[in-house]
Structure 1
Amino acid sequence: MKKKWSELGPVERAAVLALGSVQVALAAAAWADLATRPAARVNGPKKLWALLIGVNFVGPLSYFRWGRRPAQAEHRER
């Protein structure tokens, strides 16, 4: 059953706000990373990832797990 905002208790409201904040922060971090990462270091098309990042928690977490390619080995040895 869906509740209206006015029907939620203080703890429920705080939980909704906290989860919403985490979701927005994850998406913002993923979009910022995607915007600054060269296309050669992204698995798949950047436009597709930009859309997928907007899907709740799943999109940003998927991008961080599967969407990014690591830096080349010679860069890690420095």
Structure 2
Amino acid sequence: MSAKKWADLSPRQQRLVMIGAIIEGLMKAIALADLARRPAAQVRGPKPLWALTLTLFNSLGTAPLAYWFYGRRKPN
């Protein structure tokens, strides 16, 4: 079975793909903005590695969620 092309998707499926892409893009942008503003002492692991992970991986939202729940330390 070959992969469907964009034109093969129904209008509803196309909208769902676009909505998913927008949501993931927003999640990544918000996580990257937080990472840029947060001091390195409040981040678990190296900030460049988190930035690379958030930027390069198409993760269906898992990379931003991992950053929000695991990557940030609570301020003392």
Q: Normalising by the residue count of structure 1, what TM-score does the alignment of the two structures yield?
A: 0.87
Please list every run of 5 or more consecutive structure 1 residues that lacks an aligned counterpart in the other structure. 73-78
Q: Which has the larger radius of gyration?
A: 1
Moved over 4 A (4+): none
Q: RMSD of the TM alignment (CA)?
A: 0.9
Higher relative contact order by CA 8 Å / sep ≥ 6: 1 or 2?
Answer: 2
Deviations 1:40-64 (A, max 9, x none): 1000100110111132222111000
Q: Give percent identity, aligned residues only.
A: 42
Match in the other structure for 1:66:
70
Aligned residues: 72
Q: Normalising by the residue count of structure 2, what TM-score does the alignment of the two structures yield?
A: 0.89
Equivalent positions of 1:1-78 (< 5 A) are: 1-54=2-55, 55=57, 56=59, 57-72=61-76
